[in-house]
Amino acid sequence: MKYLRVFIILLSTFSFGLVRAGEGMWIPMLLQYNEKEMQEMGMRITAEDIYSINHSSLKDAIVLFGGGCTGEIVSDQGLLLTNHHCGYDYIQKHSSVQHDYLTNGFWAMNMGEELPCPGLSVIFLREMRDVTEKVLTGINIDMSEADRQAKIDENIKKIVAAVEKETKYKVSIKPYFLGNEYYLLLNEIYTDVRLVGCPPSNIGKFGGDTDNWVWPRHTGDFSIFRVYADKDGHPAVYDKDNVPYKPAKHLDISLKGAEEGDFAFVFGYPARTNEYLPAVAVDQEANLIDPIIVDLRGKVLDIYNKYQEQDPKVRIQYASKHASIGNGWKKWMGVTEGINHFHGVEKKRAFEKDFQEWALGARNRYMYIDLLNQFEKNYKELEPYQLAYTYFSEAGLRIELVSFAGRFVKLSEVTKDTPQGEIDAMITNLKTRSASFFKDYYEPIDREVAAMLLKEYLKAQPADFRPDFLNGIKDVDEYVDNLFNKSIFTDEAKVNELLDNFNAKNVKKLANDPALKVYQSLIGFYRNEVYDHISSLNATIDRQRRIYMKGQMDMQPDKRLFPDANFTLRVTYGKVEGFKPQDGKTYRHFTTLEGIIEKENPDIYDYVVEPRLKQLYNNKDYGRYADKDGTMHVAFTASVHTTGGNSGSPILNADGQLLGLNFDRCWEGTMSDLLYDPAICRNISVDIRYVLFIIDKFAGAHHLIEEMTIVE
């Protein structure tokens, strides 16, 4: 018996040393190829349990949430969990100074109190199929890109039309491996999704933008929704008579937590990675473009902060904008730092040297030998246009007045021949947009942002490569004052009056509005000077990247490569584990409620702790949600490869039970979209026990816990 144990320990150390996955975002229908490795790492279920089209499987509980995040179903009543930051927009839309759900949280105490969220949808993947061969029928490597695309489009159209006849689901086909493979997806889209609950921001966003992208972390980043269907369980537009959706599968929830070294996997919708880029592109992104965006956004955020601190109304108005601008700002800072610190460009160059040697090693590799040269040349050529695009979007369109005015371009172009029906439809649409724009608009912020951005724009872009309006500016401050004083788009009453009494005279007034003119000048510049160059260079680059991808696959036939993320469902797996970000520094894999109390600072918005949470902490009133060490675990890290879009994804244990919700990555590893390093790239999840503790003990929403399947 004793010997047997030693043997088992040896065996498992051996296989632990051997198997250290982490990198990879795998296609669920092909998971049988990973199954052995996953089981060696500790998984106790099968690939079929995760993805199956023959019986219910975990995939039936996973959704693309709101087009940008992941969510999972946790009850047979369609109850759904995702991150607080994924539900944020919807929480914000229901919030006002009177009903400040951002600050105070929201809990529906019965289904009748749940809040409809117009515009929110969730998408279930019902099935996927490999259609590579059919899509690439009639394609060969010597075809021009245009011919190739035309043929592919034609093939796709045919395949989709044929499948549409046999299914009620939405059919689409997406490229994988940069167009070397194609998969067909059958999706079902539910559009009646209601807000059920969310914690106050000082739990759901604890640490705010200060802690964002950083470990150790103490954010209770979750919110709760419910999916509704018609009486037959089919998707339906919102109707108060709709009923809770009954899923084929909902996730079991584990109260056991996870130990260092435990197998874990994430199942969700990673949006975009670029793991196979050439060095020159990584260098351009990390060392040229990202730093500019970081600088511009940093300056915008400073202005937001100043005004948000002064006025609670402005704080709410700019909360969502701040979070989304700030998120990219901080991430790209981390990408640059990570790529440089861990010599990402040099690593890519070293690989390219091997690739080049390999390409020269056999005659039938002729299509690969000039690729790297071509990349150098084409990315260099792309550079000025990339810069122009960056300023156009980050400095030009960032001015809210200008992008809002841009919405009225079509209306400013109506003539006496435009059908009245069309005009009416535009007006209705613009009224809605205008109401939501002004709800969250604070002119003094926008003025200051505009002056700052235009100065930066002028400083950075050469006079012969700028939108015309910029070259006409003598004094930026004066120009901005004039712009804001003269445009009608700063004034809700004026905009409404124009929309209410729309006539020919207004068309002229609109067309001459200075903000609309700035928008036209920006767009005109982009269309005439930038767009064509970017798209034709990108078409060439995309072709070369596709061939380079194929080359990398040919060169490493024994290495299992994964396709870059493309907003389709993926499985990624690794271990629950901490890491060593720097010499002499080690991160433990979990944080606890103690850390929240440690960070507490009533004077800093991001670190205010709810009195009720403190009370629960003081009484150690954790119920069955405490870890066996007696503390309340809040968040944990794992070596699982994730990216944007994976937010809200379930992180599951060896039995496929819910351990937590993925919501972020560690600062040191944000470069993982370009280069994944298993030693330092970690994803961050909120521990499901903390989520349940907040729902149950903090909010008293015990009825929601009752709905769930909890495994003690």
Tell me which residues are annotated as active site.
85, 221, 647
Helices (H), 169-260: 201-204, 208-211
Smallest separation, CB 642 to ligand ARG (Å)? 10
Amino acid (1-letter code) at residue 450? A
Residue 642 contact partner, candidates ligand ASP, ligand ARG, none, CB within 5 to 8 A by sort of partner: ligand ASP
Residue 212 in contact with ligand ARG, rule: CB under 6 A: yes
Q: Report the interhelical angle of 532-555 vs 344-359 (nearest 10°).
A: 70
- Cα 5 to Cα 261: distance, rounded to the nearest angstrom: 19
Smallest separation, CB 599 to ligand ARG (Å)? 14
- Give 75 or 223: the residue with its C-beta nearer to ligand ARG: 223
- Cα 525 to Cα 467: distance, rounded to the nearest angstrom: 5
Q: How many Cβ atoms sit within 10 Å of the Cβ of residue 98?
A: 5
- Give 327 or 356: the residue with its C-beta nearer to ligand ASP: 327
- Give 88 or 107: the residue with its C-beta nearer to ligand ARG: 88
**Residues 305/294, Cβ–Cβ less than 8 Å:** no
Residue 643 contact partner, candidates ligand ASP, ligand ARG, none, CB within 5 to 8 A by sort of partner: ligand ASP
Give 22's strand partners. none
Give 170's strand partners. 187
Residue 205 contact partner, candidates ligand ARG, ligand ASP, none, CB within 5 to 8 A by sort of partner: ligand ARG
431-463: b or e for each residue (b if 16 or more CB lie within 10 Å)? eeebeebbebbbeebbbbbbbbbbbbbbebbee
- Cα 442 to Cα 312: distance, rounded to the nearest angstrom: 12
- Choices 24-32, 203-211, 432-440, 696-704; region in contact with ligand ARG by CB under 6 A: 203-211
Residue 89 in contact with ligand ARG, rule: CB under 6 A: no
Smallest separation, CB 85 to ligand ARG (Å)? 4
Chain residues that interact with ligand ASP, rule: CB under 6 A: 69, 642-647, 663-665
- Give 192 or 221: the residue with its C-beta nearer to ligand ASP: 221
Smallest separation, CB 664 to ligand ASP (Å)? 5
Selected binder of ligand ARG within 179, 208, 334, 514 (CB under 6 A)? 208
Judged by CB under 6 A, the chain residues 142 through 161 that form the site for ligand ARG are none
Q: Report the interhelical angle of 532-555 vs 371-391 (nearest 10°).
A: 140
Residue 394 in contact with ligand ARG, rule: CB under 6 A: no
Tell me what percent of the chain is helix, strand and coil, each rounded to the nearest 5.
55, 15, 30
Residue 209 contact partner, candidates ligand ARG, ligand ASP, none, CB within 5 to 8 A by sort of partner: ligand ARG
**Residues 204/115, Cβ–Cβ less than 8 Å:** no
Q: How far is CA 341 from CA 163, 292, 581, in A?
A: 49, 19, 11
- Cα 399 to Cα 451: distance, rounded to the nearest angstrom: 9
Smallest separation, CB 698 to ligand ARG (Å)? 20
Residue 607 in contact with ligand ARG, rule: CB under 6 A: no
The contact pattern for ligand ARG, residues 651-690, with x = CB under 6 A and - = no contact, is ------------xx--------------------------
Total site size for ligand ARG, rule CB under 6 A: 13
- Choices 49-57, 190-198, 321-329, 521-529; region in contact with ligand ARG by CB under 6 A: 321-329
> Which residues make Cβ contacts (< 8 Å) with residue 254, sequence separation at least 6?
653, 655, 657, 658, 659, 688, 711
- Cα 408 to Cα 520: distance, rounded to the nearest angstrom: 11
Smallest separation, CB 642 to ligand ASP (Å)? 5
Smallest separation, CB 421 to ligand ASP (Å)? 40
63, 69, 73, 77 alpha-carbon torsion, rounded to 10°: -90
- Give 591 or 642: the residue with its C-beta nearer to ligand ASP: 642
- Give 132 or 273: the residue with its C-beta nearer to ligand ASP: 273
- What one-character-per-residue DSSP string does 130-176 give? E-HHHHTTT--TTS-HHHHHHHHHHHHHHHHHHHHHH-SSEEEEEEE
Smallest separation, CB 338 to ligand ASP (Å)? 13
Q: Hunting for tokens 């064509």 — which residue is that? A: 532
Residue 326 contact partner, candidates ligand ASP, ligand ARG, none, CB within 5 to 8 A by sort of partner: ligand ARG
Alpha-carbon torsion (31, 32, 37, 38), positive or negative? positive
- Give 69 or 708: the residue with its C-beta nearer to ligand ASP: 69
For Cα atoms 286, 291, 295, give the angle at the middle one, nearest 5 degrees: 165
648: nearest Cα among 219, 125, 244: 219
Residue nearest to ligand ASP (CB): 647
- Cα 684 to Cα 257: distance, rounded to the nearest angstrom: 14
Residue 213 contact partner, candidates ligand ASP, ligand ARG, none, CB within 5 to 8 A by sort of partner: ligand ARG
Residue 400 in contact with ligand ARG, rule: CB under 6 A: no
Q: How many residues does the chain have?
A: 712
- Give 187 or 683: the residue with its C-beta nearer to ligand ARG: 683
- Give 108 or 286: the residue with its C-beta nearer to ligand ARG: 286
- Give 268 or 644: the residue with its C-beta nearer to ligand ARG: 644
Residue 323 contact partner, candidates ligand ASP, ligand ARG, none, CB within 5 to 8 A by sort of partner: ligand ARG
Selected binder of ligand ARG within 578, 644, 648, 660 (CB under 6 A)? 644
Selected binder of ligand ARG within 205, 633, 641, 682 (CB under 6 A)? 205
Q: How far is CA 579 from CA 182, 246, 592, 637, 659, in A?
A: 36, 40, 17, 9, 19
Residue 93 contact partner, candidates ligand ASP, ligand ARG, none, CB within 5 to 8 A by sort of partner: none
Smallest separation, CB 221 to ligand ASP (Å)? 9
Residue 323 in contact with ligand ARG, rule: CB under 6 A: yes
Smallest separation, CB 507 to ligand ASP (Å)? 42
- Give 325 or 483: the residue with its C-beta nearer to ligand ASP: 325
If DSSP codes are grouped into helix, strand and coil, which group holds residue 46?
Answer: coil
**Residues 65/58, Cβ–Cβ less than 8 Å:** no
- Cα 271 to Cα 415: distance, rounded to the nearest angstrom: 42
Residue 646 contact partner, candidates ligand ARG, ligand ASP, none, CB within 5 to 8 A by sort of partner: ligand ASP
Smallest separation, CB 466 to ligand ARG (Å)? 32
Residue 290 in contact with ligand ARG, rule: CB under 6 A: no
Residue 85 in contact with ligand ARG, rule: CB under 6 A: yes
439: nearest Cα among 495, 385, 502, 390: 495
Residue 92 in contact with ligand ARG, rule: CB under 6 A: no
- What one-character-per-residue DSSP string does 579-632 give? EEEETTEEE-SEEEHHHHHHH--TTSGGG---HHHHHHHHTT--GGGS-TTSS-
Selected binder of ligand ARG within 24, 179, 326, 581 (CB under 6 A)? 326
Q: Hunting for tokens 């994964």 — which residue is that? A: 562
Interface residues with ligand ARG (CB under 6 A)?
A: 85, 205, 208-209, 212-213, 323, 326-327, 644, 647, 663-664
